[in-house]
């Protein structure tokens, strides 16, 4: 009888001992695969993107986002400094939707024009603003974009509460009896002169007045919040912001974070975005923000300066790097 076929207990034990390292190696491999699958599943849930140009056609923005490894994006629907809106050709809209599908880019956000002022005391500006907001929603529906991000506007020398009531009235007028599929998100502002929406409570006040106005919630801009006095470099400041959202809007109403550093100090009331980690919020502040579990499912869009060609890439890498180390 060959020794290799021997079934005696000594030989069996020796066989087991020989295969033990192999078994351990296989077991480690299984554990590692499970761990990386879980990690990539978690990562897949996280949506990170950047504000992207639509130069050359709106569908080009998706190609640009994909080239930057983004899985969400924000665009302007047209030149944000012009009242003029040209309709999106049907093929462009189709292409936009197809490419989004192909690259799994979701949600898509449209940031409204800077010209919109829904509390203007000038009738022509107010009427044009209401009309333009309606157009932004129409374009969003045509493209299948889920959200339209809005700064309601500013006004001086008027009671703030009355101004916010006026903003709500204007939003309801823009929506009219149309049923847009896209939802509005109100963005917090930096607290500049005439600002009426720099705190969470003030955003909630407008939302409450627009119960049927398909407002899905808010977009929190970290630069604006910091400039308006929320100290995001400290746990207390982040806690204050999140508690206010929780109590006045509800955490499920936080649909987007504009992740921007601030060029100006805390409470400056000045809206100047800076590269991630190079402003007053700094890497330490962003680490705190990104590690807060209550914010972990909220999509992140960067609106950081774009002076050099690889600015977006560098800012996105900084955020991805921080996220990977949490
Ligand atoms: Zn913003
Ligand atoms: Zn800003």
Q: Where are the domains of the chain?
A: 49-324
Instruction: Quote the ligand 2 centre to 231 CA distance (angstroms).
Output: 16
pLDDT of residue 71: 98
Name the catalytic one among 64, 146, 164, 187.
187
Query: What phi, psi does 79 have (nearest 5°)?
Result: -60, 115
Residues with CB under 5 A from ligand 2 (ion): 271
Q: What is the C-alpha to C-alpha distance for residues 183 and 213, in angstroms, rounded to an integer?
A: 9
SS3 assignment, position 126:
helix
pLDDT of residue 126: 98
Q: Give buried/exposed letters for 127-159 (b at 16+ CB in 10 A, else e).
A: ebbbebbbbbbbbbbbbbbbbbbbbbbbbeeee
For this structure, is 111 an active site residue?
yes
Ligand minimally distant from the alpha carbon of residue 220: 1
For this structure, is 275 an active site residue?
no
For this structure, is 32 an active site residue?
no
Give the list of residues 6+ apart from residue 287 with CB closer than 8 angstroms, or none: 322, 326
For this structure, is 78 an active site residue?
no
Instruction: Quote the ligand 2 centre to 24 CA distance (angstroms).
Output: 54
Residues written for the chain: 326
Q: Which of 12, 170, 149 is nearest to 75 (CA)?
A: 149
For this structure, is 321 an active site residue?
no
pLDDT of residue 21: 65
Name the catalytic one among 78, 109, 224, 231.
224
pLDDT of residue 33: 55
Sign, CA dihedral 110-214-298-63, equals negative
pLDDT of residue 43: 47
pLDDT of residue 3: 46
Beta bridge partners of 293: none
For this structure, is 51 an active site residue?
no
Give the list of residues 6+ apart from residue 160 with CB closer than 8 angstroms, or none: 196, 202
pLDDT of residue 213: 72
Instruction: Quote the ligand 1 centre to 221 CA distance (angstroms).
Output: 5
- Using a cut of 0.95, tell me whether the model's pTM lies above it: no
Query: pLDDT per position in the chain (326 positions), as tens?
Result: 444 455 555 556 566 566 666 656 666 656 655 655 555 455 456 999 999 999 999 999 999 999 999 999 999 999 999 999 998 999 999 999 999 999 999 999 999 999 999 999 999 999 999 999 999 999 999 999 999 999 999 999 999 999 999 999 999 999 988 789 999 999 999 999 999 999 999 999 999 999 877 899 999 999 999 999 999 999 999 999 999 999 999 999 999 999 999 999 999 999 999 999 999 999 999 999 999 999 999 999 999 999 999 999 999 999 999 999 99
Name the catalytic one among 166, 205, 258, 274.
258
Based on the number of CB atoms within 10 Å of its own CB, is 54 exposed (0-12), middle (13-18) or buried (19 or more)? buried
Q: Which of 280, 180, 283 is nearest to 230 (CA)?
A: 280
**Contact (Cβ atoms closer than 8 angstroms) between residue 192 and residue 271:** yes
Instruction: Quote the ligand 2 centre to 271 CA distance (angstroms).
Output: 5
Q: What is the C-alpha to C-alpha distance for residues 159 and 182, in angstroms, rounded to an integer?
A: 31
Instruction: Quote the ligand 2 centre to 188 CA distance (angstroms).
Output: 9
Name the catalytic one among 138, 141, 169, 303.
303
Residue 287: CB atoms within 10 Å: 14
Q: Which of 223, 199, 301, 312 is nearest to 255 (CA)?
A: 301
SS3 assignment, position 21:
helix
- β-pair type (183-187, 215-221): parallel
The domain 49-324: what is its CATH number?
A: 3.20.20.150
């Amino acid at each position: 009888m060959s020794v290799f076929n021997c079934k005696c207990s000594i030989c069996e034990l020796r066989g087991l001992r020989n295969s033990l390292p192999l078994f351990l190696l296989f077991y480690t491999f299984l554990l590692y695969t499970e761990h990386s699958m879980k990690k990539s599943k978690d990562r897949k849930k996280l949506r990170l993107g950047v504000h992207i140009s639509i130069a050359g056609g709106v569908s080009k923005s998706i190609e640009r986002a994909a080239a930057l490894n983004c899985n969400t994006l924000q665009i302007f629907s047209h030149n944000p400094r012009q009242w003029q809106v040209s309709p999106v050709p049907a093929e462009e809209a189709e292409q936009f939707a197809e490419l989004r599908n192909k690259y799994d880019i979701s949600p898509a956000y449209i940031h409204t024009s800077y010209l919109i002022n829904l509390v203007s005391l000038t009738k022509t500006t107010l009427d044009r603003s209401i009309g333009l907001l309606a157009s932004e929603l129409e374009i969003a529906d045509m493209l299948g974009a889920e959200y339209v991000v809005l700064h309601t506007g500013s006004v001086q020398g008027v009671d703030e509460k009355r101004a916010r009531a006026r903003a709500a009235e204007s939003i309801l007028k823009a929506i009219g009896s149309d049923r847009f599929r896209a939802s509005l998100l109100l963005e917090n502002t930096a607290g500049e002169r005439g600002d009426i929406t720099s705190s969470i409570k003030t955003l909630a006040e407008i939302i409450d007045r627009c119960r049927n106005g398909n407002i899905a919630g808010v977009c929190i801009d970290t630069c604006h919040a910091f400039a308006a006095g929320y100290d995001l470099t400290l746990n207390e400041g982040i806690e204050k912001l999140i508690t206010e959202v929780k109590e006045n809007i509800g955490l499920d109403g936080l649909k987007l974070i504009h992740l921007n550093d601030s060029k100006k100090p805390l409470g400056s009331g000045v809206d100047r975005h800076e590269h991630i980690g190079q402003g007053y919020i700094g890497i330490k502040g962003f680490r705190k923000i990104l590690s807060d579990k209550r914010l972990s499912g909220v999509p992140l869009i960067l609106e950081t300066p774009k002076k050099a060609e690889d600015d977006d890439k560098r800012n996105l890498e900084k955020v991805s790097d921080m996220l990977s180390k949490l």
